[in-house]
Amino acid sequence: VIEYMKAFSHFKKWQRSSMRLGLLLGEVLAGSTDFQQKLDAYYYKKDVHILTGPDKPALYGWLKSAYAVITPDLKDAGLDLQLATAALGNLVVAPVTPTTASLLPGAVFDLPGVDKESLGQVLISCYKSEVLRARHIRAALEVSENRQQELPAF
């Protein structure tokens, strides 16, 4: 999680805006003293929002309002979030796996690495090229229209 916050710092320094970081975390991690101390010391802590144990409406609200939904470590375990994000018309950023390539062809903005430099650079690329971002979102919407029966219920 700290690497993601470092990547967000890299992006914020480049972007210089009021964009925020939402983190979906387990309650144990979010409540740990170590994490809280690191969050308290984080320069952009006012721009970080933690979500733990959300109900579906709250989760889908976050997915819909986000600039992008990034699932770097989940790989195929994050397919439910990725499919929901695609159906909501938002950008999915994740490592492309054979499963995501078949279920979400052209919809996932590939994340080649989960280190702070790779993640920060992908965020910058998404932000710099609205055309590229829009292409992935359009592909996601096409997939969700074609596979409506396979998507999570809203």
Average pLDDT over residues 68-81: 79
Q: Rounded to an integer, what distance in angstroms lies between the CA atom of residue 130 and that of residue 148?
A: 26
Residue 36 pLDDT: 92
Spatial contact of 84 and 57, defined as CB atoms under 8 Å apart: no
User: Identity (one letter) of the amino acid at 61?
Assistant: G
Q: Rounded to an integer, what distance in angstroms lies between the CA atom of residue 153 and that of residue 148?
A: 9
Residue 138, pLDDT > 90, answer yes
Q: What is the pTM of this model?
A: 0.76
pLDDT band at 150 (very low <50, low <70, confident <90, very high): low
Residue 72 pLDDT: 75
- Residues whose CB falls within 8 Å of the CB of residue 4, separated by 6 or more in sequence, listed in order: 21, 23, 70, 72, 116, 119
pLDDT band at 37 (very low <50, low <70, confident <90, very high): very high
Residue 39, pLDDT > 70, answer yes
pLDDT band at 152 (very low <50, low <70, confident <90, very high): low
Average pLDDT over residues 96-122: 86
107 is written with which tokens?
Answer: 């919809």
What is the pairing mode between strands 91-94 and 68-70?
Answer: parallel
What order do you get walking across the sheet with 68-70 strand by strand?
68-70, 91-94, 108-110
Residue 76, pLDDT > 80, answer no
